[in-house]
Amino acid sequence: MRTRLNELPRWRAYIVLGLTLAAFIGLLMLALGRAPVVPAEAATAAAPEGDLVSYQRIIERLRGGADYYTAAHEVLVADGYGTRSVFNWRTPAWPVLLAALPPGGGQGVLAALALFGLLLVYRMLREEGGVLVAVLSMLAVGISLGGIVAPASVVFSEVAAGTLILISVAAYGNGWRLAGLLVGLLALFLRELAAPYVVVAIVLALRQRRWNEVRLWGLGLAAYAAYFGWHWWMVSQQLGPMDRAYGDGWLQFGGVGFILATAGFNGLWSLGPVWLPALLLPLGMLGLWAWPKGTLALATVVVFVVLFAAVGKPFNFYWGALYTPVLMLGLGWAVAAVWETLRQR
């Protein structure tokens, strides 16, 4: 099996493994020194001020016939959100879709998407890395996507967008570029925080001179700009004397601590011990780097990780759902690459 790790001279491969081990130890020390918070439990806590409960209330009002922006404004103001910024208002696509579905329908949609994504992952990695890599990575990704068994997780548009980003990466990996592009745009329409993935995909298309794809991305971004502009205008129509702005912005520079928190919001992996994200983050990134055709996946994770070092408030750790399924693609490659390197004589 060919990986970037075991193609290196042996001494360089051991340096890479040493750096990975050092990253794990550093993250482990940080994780053990933090207050014991389990992201999965925090995400499903019924705190009145939490995003989860607020958007559950908005969805219930939509099911009762309310307009999205009217319902969102009433709930966000009542729950103390800084509604003067449009970025504190979710775009309506995902809440409106959830409200249109019967109870449990959102879980059904995400389950179908997750299953489709896993099949794409297996097909992609079976051809490149063999059965072992495909099965290990598919299992790791499946555990990451398994968080949708909790009904509350469906409310988070980040979970839906992260599932779509995974499908887009796998579609690209299978050579289905148009499908990858369209699914990536859909993720953006569900959550603007999918924008870093879109930027990565466009940069790679430019680098490889895939001009037709670049033009299609341009059309998609123009459509999204119109959609977000309409969203901005609709929000502005709701603002009044009861609306306030947050005293601080989204630039929080949470650094490695916040990165580790986002890595911990990782489906059923979140139920593991507190030190598990400290292992999965460097190991997953090692595997994505070792994967010869993993450039899109690796760049996606790196961009999100770097972004979250600066952007995001402490309670936004659930943003990790945007990149953790893609991160888990690297586990199978990491196991295979380390094994092949250590067995060399």
pLDDT digits (tens, 9 = 90+) for 146-166: 999 888 889 999 999 999 999
Write the CB contacts of 321 (distance below 8 Å, at least 6 apart in sequence). 147, 156, 158, 159, 161, 162, 265, 266, 267
Does residue 44 register a pLDDT over 80? no
Residue 268 lies in a domain: yes
Q: Does residue 75 lie within any of the structural domains? A: no
72 is a domain residue: no
Statement: residue 122 has pLDDT above 80: yes
Determine the Cα–Cα distance for residues 11 and 141; give it in Å rounded to an integer: 31
Flag whether 82 is in a domain. no
pLDDT at 294 over 90: yes
User: By percentage, how much of the chain surpasses pLDDT 90?
Assistant: 73
pLDDT of the residue at 153: 87
CA-derived radius of gyration, the chain: 20
pLDDT value of position 345: 54
Q: What is the pLDDT of residue 38?
A: 42
Residue the block writes with tokens 């990790």: 320
70, part of any domain: no
Residue 129 inside a domain? The answer is yes
CB 5 within 8 A of CB 16: yes
> Is the pLDDT at 60 greater than 50, yes or no?
yes
pLDDT of 341: 83
Range 208-226 average pLDDT: 97
Domain that holds residue 119: 10-45+105-221+247-343
Domain count, the chain: 1
Asked if residue 237 is part of any domain, the answer here is no
pLDDT, position 69: 96
Confidence of residue 4 (pLDDT cuts 50, 70, 90): confident
Residue 56 has pLDDT above 70, yes or no: yes
Give the pLDDT score at 34: 67
Closest listed residue to residue 26, CA positions, set 324, 301, 253, 279: 279
Confidence of residue 314 (pLDDT cuts 50, 70, 90): confident
Would 234 be classed as within a structural domain?
no
The listed range with the strongest mean pLDDT (14-28, 34-48, 182-196, 252-266) is 182-196
pLDDT at 8: 85
311 bridge partner residues: 251
Mean pLDDT of 232-257: 87
Confidence of residue 36 (pLDDT cuts 50, 70, 90): very low
